[in-house]
Each structure stands twice: as C-alpha cells, then as structure tokens.
Amino acid sequence: MAKKTSVNNKDLRRYSHYLVWGAVAAVGLSALDFLGISFWLTATQWLVVAGVLATFGIYTRMGA
C-alpha cells in the first residue's frame, strides 16, 4: 500500500497564500489583455483561471 503523508497546517497556509497570489496575478494578466497586451490566453480565460485559483486557495485555507 502507498504510504500516507500528512501536510501540516503551516504548509497548507503557505499553499493557500500561493494560490491566492496566483489568482491576483491572473487578474493582472487579464487586465493587460484588456489593454491590448495579449499573453497566451484571452482576458475571460484569465478570469476563469483566477476564479479557480481563488476557490482552491480559500478551500485550502479552510483545511488549515
């Protein structure tokens, strides 16, 4: 059987922090695309990415 590993609360808080800041970065990239500087995805796709990252960040924080 696979060995079960546990993640402590400090690690969960750190991961949550990274996910939320990733969401902020995705909103920034969305704003750049809105201004005409296209970067890999369209503005609405960056907003979806931000929503997913923020959701997982909040969910991870609740588990901490």
Token reading at 33: 């695309």
pLDDT at 4: 61
pLDDT at 1: 57
pLDDT at 2: 54
The Cα–Cα gap between 38 and 64 comes to: 36
pLDDT at 5: 59
pLDDT at 41: 85
pLDDT in tens, 13-63: 889 999 999 999 999 999 998 888 887 888 889 899 999 999 999 998 887
pLDDT at 20: 94
